[in-house]
Amino acid sequence: MNAEAEIGRHYASGRLLEAILAALAASGKQGAKLTPEELAPLDEFHLGGLEATQAIAEGLELHPGLRLLDVGCGIGGPARYFAAAHGCQVHGLDLTEEFVSVARRLTEMTGLTERVEFHQASALKPPFFAASFDRAVMIHVGMNVSDKAGVFRAVRALLKPQGRFAIFDLVRTGNGALRYPAPWAGGEATSFVAAADAYREALAAAGFRLEQETDRTASGVAFLRRAMAARAAAAAPPPLGLHLLMGKRTPAMLQNVLTMLEEGALSAIEFVALAA
């Protein structure tokens, strides 16, 4: 089995939509029109949650009418936020077929189908025309991508000149051990964590000019500590939460990420680059 197939298997459960609908019913939200903010505890599947997505939107300088590509969109949380809060036309792309199916259903439930579309495909072979997007974003995807330069070249081909590309990933910053399971991988076979220099070099080689680099490690650590403290204080997880995506290993995954950040093995870095 190749790496992409293994990655798809890592994320897919086959029962995700059923679990989400049950959680919505338990929350008293079944049948109601939902907002991206209400779904955020579930579908902002990255360090920092909705606050991190809002910060990324600022770096992208979003405004109504822009076409935005979300590479590795998951079940669509950030894509729906960008469309609802900033009036963008968003196309999400993800390798995992189940995620794309769930993303479409949740988008129907938020009434955003006219602004947000989802596509199942590899980020190395996106099904779009050249120079057809104004912005692109990639959130916690690079840890699953061995050929980062290839993905960045594909994104560059889809962006118009001076288009902005934001990346938010966990990057290697020390010699400490990488701990598994992690949210992005069960082991080393599908984990491609790289140093920040690798991102800078791959962006430059793909035709981007790095404009901004922000270390979000401290806020990410604070976010994880709050989440884990709330989980420990509660008798059970809330109906809607990342455990629906990560399963029974959620506490171990979150603890491993927190430990790696605190030990300095990883940092959370946001890059914003311009298409030259």
pLDDT tens, position by position, 43-61:
999 999 999 999 999 999 9
Overall number of domains in the chain:
1
Average pLDDT rounded to a whole number, residues 138-143: 98
SS3 track for 79-131: HHHHHHHHCCEEEEEECCHHHHHHHHHHHHHCCCCCCEEEEECCCCCCCCCCC
| Helix and strand counts by DSSP (H, E) for the chain | 11, 7
**Tens of pLDDT along 224-265?**
999 999 988 988 888 999 999 999 999 999 999 999 999 999
Instruction: Count Cβ neighbours within 10 Å for each residue of 182-205 and write b for 16 or more, e otherwise.
Output: bbbbeeeebbbbbebebbeebbee
Angle at 125 between CA 57 and CA 83, to 5 degrees: 25
Domain at 237, CATH number: 3.40.50.150
Q: What is the pLDDT of residues 200-217, one digit of tens each?
A: 999 999 999 999 999 999
pTM of the model: 0.95
The predicted structure's pLDDT at residue 237? 87
pLDDT tens digit string along 113-126? Answer: 999 999 999 999 99
> Which residues constitute the domain of residue 182?
3-275
